[in-house]
Amino acid sequence: MRLADQLRTTTFLLTLRYMVLFFVSVTILVGLFNWAALGYVEQEADAAIEAEIKGLQEQYAQRGPSGLVQVINARIEAYPEGDAVYLIVDLSGKKIVGNLDAWPSLQVLEGDRVTFPLEEADGDDVRVRARVFAPQGDVRMLIGRKVRALDQLAKLTDRTLFWGLSITLALALATGLLMSNNVLRRVAQFNATSRRIMGGDLSQRIETTGTRDEFDELAQNLNAMMDQIEGLMTGMQHMSDNVAHDLRTPLTRLRNRLEQLLQKADADDADEVAACIEDADALLSTFASLLSIARIEAGTYAADQESVDMKRTVLDAFDLYTVLAEDKEIELFCDANEDVSVSGDRNLLFQVVTNLLDNAIKYTPSGGRVDISLRTRNGQPELVVADSGPGIPADMREKVLQRFFRLDKSRSAPGAGLGLSLVSAIIQRHGIELTLDDNRPGLIIRMRFPVASAAMPEGHAALAADHT
Amino acid sequence: MRILLIEDDSSVAEFIVRGFREGGHTIDHADNGKDGLFLATTEDYDALIVDRMLPKVDGLSIIRTLRASDDHTPALILSALGQVDDRVKGLQAGGDDYLTKPFAFSELEARLDALARRAQGKGATETVLSVGDLEMDLLAREVRRGGQAIALQPRDFQLLEYLMRHAGQVVTRTMLLENVWDYHFDPQTNVIDVHISRLRAKVDKGFESQLIHTIRGAGYKIDATG
């Protein structure tokens, strides 16, 4: 099973879609949490600032400006690593007291609330929230707090998001592949079985796993359907066997009586009786062809697949038709040096080859030329019959091909006989691809055989070879 | 020749029985599989003609039973089921030849004759075939008529050999395609006729009496008496 196939499956795409949905919802969730947490941390910082301001206001009220400076210095010294930020400058911007070196460039949040970045001793940037005010008009004061937790939180959520989503992605891909793999394996079973059934083996059934999942249900229904089809086919075949028996037996009698009559008949009647026998024979051979077509189409020949030596088949057909071509003064050339074997029924394949040759010779005028060749092209056996006859105009070729493939039409065509229908049934049975082209002048027919798959059972080939 | 016919269709049976009796053969008839199998195992026959579809025991089972008990009497299967797969089944069961109804009596006779002769080892040992003043030397691969050599292509030689081995009997186009070219189907074209007419041009042309005859509604026959 190829990865590309797996990536195309419905299951995989569905998993992927869910994953994207999950991704988006997780991002929104984390975003919301982040936003709420940020608000909380900011509120905490603001509350701490308020408390600080309140405390300092009390100190100022009790001990005046110098007392305030003292208190601030004491607090800075007590907590050198603390989060509190203080700065008091005079109107010229000169620092009076505080743990900032200079008045920072502020970003106003609202009213007297501001924020600014601060570079710490270790080089890290930290954000400071603060309030600024001018208590007596001669100094400016900034009381703030580093919101270190905020940065840490942001970093934490970023990391969580990255890893969480990476793991989710990996899990989703793995699950998708695993699930689509399971599904593909089941579907592959369905496909393999239906191909075998289409190949003519109606007894094939899809395996069920016994888990009673939806695939088992589908398999059970398809199997039940195949049981019905097989039953119908068997019934039809029995019926055609019976029809063959019931109709051909009286025809046999008729023909036999005529034959006996022929022996007794005087010279005048003999010709008439012989003509009757010929008519009966024509009737019976039409009937035989119909039965053959029905059986070939029903695929009951599948059991008789053998390895057929196409080189011999072509050479035999050539041998059979050389005299016919000579009689019509047509040059018949055969090019079949390659050993090519295909799987099928040798009698049916011979019938196809002789039928094509028969037609080619029939439609080629005296002095013309017919070529038959067999070779392997791109690993695929190809049989070509080319003639120098009138050919078939390009716009008509499709129609002729349809007659090759649409049996009902050619059957109803008067005078066409059943040869073409038989050939088309045989071609379809063997999976042969047939094309018609312009031979400038004439017609060129190409038959491409399917590349041989499994080897055929030995028994049939041996039997077919010695039954003469 | 002593023949056993197992056939449930009385009209076909009557036709076959009469045909062989007129030809000077002894023929027994059973109209169901059970009686047929009994006769086949208790009596001694030169050849069997067995219908495929029979009441009680079917034709293939009869042949299979006989073959299992080491009875190799040549058997020809008759059937309305003339399809390739049925032929294969019939031959797999141990039948020696397969004939589709309807058939010309001469075809049945010719095929049965060929089977019986093959079983007795006749035919294969013959080195010279002759019909009238036509002689075929199978070892030297030479054909002469009235002492005059006739040059034949290998396929024409085979065709003439087959006709001469069945001298006086009618051979059908299907039989010719089957035995000379080794393909089993009804040739619905005149290609066999063309081969015969070429052979005739070589064998009969310039001679007073014609040896190769066309039998209307049946096939061909090589015969000195005409």
Q: What is the pLDDT of residues B141-156, one digit of tens each?
A: 899 998 889 999 888 9
> CA-CA distance, A186 to A207, in Å (whole number)?
9
The answer to whether B157 and B180 are in contact (CB under 8 A) is no
Closest residue in B to A358 (Cα–Cα): B189
Domain-terminating residue out of A104, A125, A154: A154
Q: Is residue A444 part of a domain?
A: yes
**What's the CA gap between A175 and A11, in Å, rounded?**
10
Residues A100 and A14 in one domain: yes
A245, A262, A270: residue with CB nearest B80: A245
- Which bin fits B15, alpha (ψ -120 to 50), beta or left (φ > 0)? alpha
pLDDT-derived band of residue B224, with 50, 70 and 90 as boundaries?
A: confident
- Closest-CA residue to B124 (of B135, B136, B138): B138
Asked whether residue A178 is assigned to any structural domain, the reply reads: no
Do strands A139-146 and A125-133 pair parallel, antiparallel, or not at all (unpaired)?
antiparallel
Give me the residues of A, 4-23, that contact B with CB < 8 A. none
What is the length of chain A?
468
Q: Say how many CB pairs under 8 Å bridge A and B.
A: 123
Residues A143, A23 within the same domain: yes
Say if residue A20 is in the same domain as residue A85.
yes
Residues A134 and A245 reside in one and the same domain = no
Our CA-based measurement puts residue B22 at a distance from the nearest CA of chain A, in whole angstroms, of 12
Give me the number of domains chain A comprises: 3
Q: What is the Cα gyration radius of chain B?
A: 19
> Using CA of residue A287, residue B196, residue A308, residue A434, what is the dihedral sign?
negative
Q: Which of left, alpha, beta for A148 (phi over 0: left; psi -120 to 50: alpha)?
A: alpha
Structural domain contains residue A184: no
Same domain, A425 and A400: yes
Residues A27 and A143 grouped into a single domain: yes
The answer, for A209 touching chain B at a CB cutoff of 8 Å, is no
Q: Which of A436, A439, A373 is nearest to A403 (CA)?
A: A436
Which of B150, B212, B122, B167 has its CA nearest to residue B140? B150
Select the residue of A292, A346, A464 nearest B83 (Cβ to Cβ): A292
Residue with the bigger pLDDT between A82 and B199: it is B199
Are A365 and A348 members of one domain?
yes
Q: Which of B85, B165, B177 to mutate to test the interface with A (most CBs of A within 10 A)?
A: B85
> A109 lies in a domain?
yes
Q: B85 and A295: CB-CB below 8 Å?
A: yes
Alpha-carbon distances of A250 from A253, A294, B7, B107, B217, rounded to whole Å: 5, 21, 14, 18, 18
Does A160 fall in a domain?
no
- CB of B220 closer than 8 Å to CB of B207: no
Can you tell me which residue has the tokens 């270790």?
Answer: A122
Do A272 and A291 fall within a single domain?
A: yes
pLDDT in tens, B75-125: 999 886 545 567 777 788 888 888 877 677 777 887 887 788 777 665 556
- Burial of A73: CB neighbours in 10 Å, binned 0-12, 13-18, 19+: middle
Instruction: Kindly report the CATH number assigned to the domain that includes residue A310.
Output: 3.30.565.10
For residue A403, what pLDDT is reported? 54
B27: pLDDT strictly greater than 90: yes
Residues A258 and A324 in one domain: no
Same domain, A232 and A315: no
Domain at A140, CATH number:
3.30.450
What was the pLDDT predicted at A412?
41
Residue A290 lies in a domain: yes
**Token pair in block for residue B115:** 């089977």
For chain A, helix, strand, coil in percent to 5 are 60, 15, 20
Mean pLDDT of B172-195: 83
**Burial bucket for residue A352 (CB in 10 Å: 0-12, 13-18, 19+):** buried
Q: What is this structure's pTM?
A: 0.57
CATH of residue A275's domain is 1.10.287
Given A116, A134, A154, the domain boundary residue is A154
Task: State whether B85 and A241 contact (CB < 8 Å).
Answer: no
The boundaries of the domain holding residue A253 are 214-295
Q: First and final CA of chain A: distance in angstroms?
A: 47
The side-by-side arrangement of strands in the sheet containing A369-377 is A331-335, A369-377, A380-387, A443-448, A433-438
For strand A433-438 and strand A369-377, is the pairing parallel, antiparallel, or unpaired?
unpaired
**Does residue A311 share a domain with residue A444?**
yes
Same domain (yes/no): A146, A15: yes
In this predicted structure, what is the pLDDT of residue B30?
93
The single residue listed with the structure tokens 């006769």 is B39
**Where is the domain boundary, A295, A324, A344?**
A295
A 308-337: CB under 8 A from B: 316, 319-321, 323-324, 327
Stretch (H or E) spanning A330: none
Which residue type is seen at A249? Answer: T
- Scored b (16 or more CB within 10 A) or e, A386-420 reads bbbbebbeeeebeebeebbeebeebbeeeeeebbb
DSSP H/E element including A366: none
Taking only the tens of pLDDT, chain A with its 468 residues reads: 567 777 777 777 887 888 888 888 888 888 888 788 878 888 888 898 888 888 888 888 888 888 888 888 888 888 877 888 888 888 887 888 888 888 888 888 888 888 888 887 777 778 888 888 877 777 888 888 888 766 777 778 788 878 888 887 888 788 888 888 888 888 888 888 888 887 667 788 888 888 888 888 888 999 999 899 888 877 876 776 677 667 777 787 788 788 878 878 887 888 888 888 888 877 777 777 777 777 676 665 554 567 889 999 999 999 999 999 998 999 999 999 889 888 888 888 998 899 889 888 888 899 999 999 999 988 889 999 999 988 877 777 776 665 554 434 444 433 345 666 677 778 877 888 888 888 888 889 999 988 754 433 333 333 333 333
Give the pLDDT score at A458.
37
Beta-bridged to residue A85, according to DSSP, are A144
